[in-house]
Amino acid sequence: MQELFKYLYENPEIEKLTGGDINDVFKVVDAEKQFVVKVNSKADFPLMFEKEKTGLELLNHTFKTPEVYRVGEYQNHQFLELEYLAESPKNDSFWLEFAKKLAKTHQKTEKTFGFHQDNFIGSLVQINDQKETWADFLIECRLNPMIEMAVNAGEVNYVEAKIIEKFYSRINELYPEEQPALLHGDLWGGNYLSTNEGPVLIDPAVYYGHREMDLGMMDLFGGFDAELFEIYNDIRPLEKNWESRIQYNQLYPLLVHLNLFGRSYWEQVLNILQKFT
């Protein structure tokens, strides 16, 4: 790792930041400029940072996102050099601003659900094949790949996994018909910052999907004030019974967590699906 920083900088001051299971994350000060540098294995996660750059730049049309300075490779590593943004306490208008920007993000649309390239959610490849309908995309690109992965890993057996098929048959009647919306794709409480410039989004897993998917992820692990959901609904009203659909939008992130962290998440998946048996 030291060789990488010698390659990138002349005389850097390096501070290890809290990262995750995938990346090593550093704050770097060099020539009085500050950067965030993310590093991981280019063999394990090919083109991950190129895809992250694409997502950050797409979301930057509505939200502030860290500017991407450099993406590259050195020996066995790949790196992403970002603008360093200092965090600050939320001001009184933080959630209002967040809601407005999220509503504007979700107004950006495409003809199909999906994206022009696959990307990553955590360390897992996220399949983004473009589909004409939300039901096809949700089944074929989100839920089925995660179920198959869990079965192949032995976290869930084939027989118990079949419970999700009853949900598949109901998707069209459960979800209101909407145009594909640009989504952050992994919008949990750890993927936004409060800064002097307002809310900042980081670590995207972008695609065009049903906008309630972002809301489901936001609700799943907390970190978002109830005021945000109320303001969002005032700005860009959701179809009736959206609160009851939140749980359906949590199936995908729960299955992602099951594949990343183990079977303990299957109980939450079952609690959602059992009403369809």
Residues designated catalytic: 186
**DSSP 3-state of 91:** coil
Please, is 182 exposed, middle or buried when counting C-beta atoms within 10 Å of its C-beta (0-12, 13-18, 19+)?
A: buried
User: From the CB of residue 257, how many other CB atoms can be counted at a distance below 10 Å?
Assistant: 19
User: From the CB of residue 157, how many other CB atoms can be counted at a distance below 10 Å?
Assistant: 10
Quote the CA–CA distance of 137 and 246 in Å, as a whole number: 18
272 and 248 Cβ atoms separated by less than 8 Å: yes
Assign 3-class secondary structure to 108-151. Answer: CECCCEECCCCEEECCEEECCCCECCHHHHHHHHHHHHHHHHHH
User: Taking Cα atoms as reference points, which of 41, 81, 48, 19 lies closest to residue 204?
Assistant: 48
49 and 71 Cβ atoms separated by less than 8 Å: yes
List, in sequence order, every residue forming a beta bridge with 114; answer none if it has no partner: 208
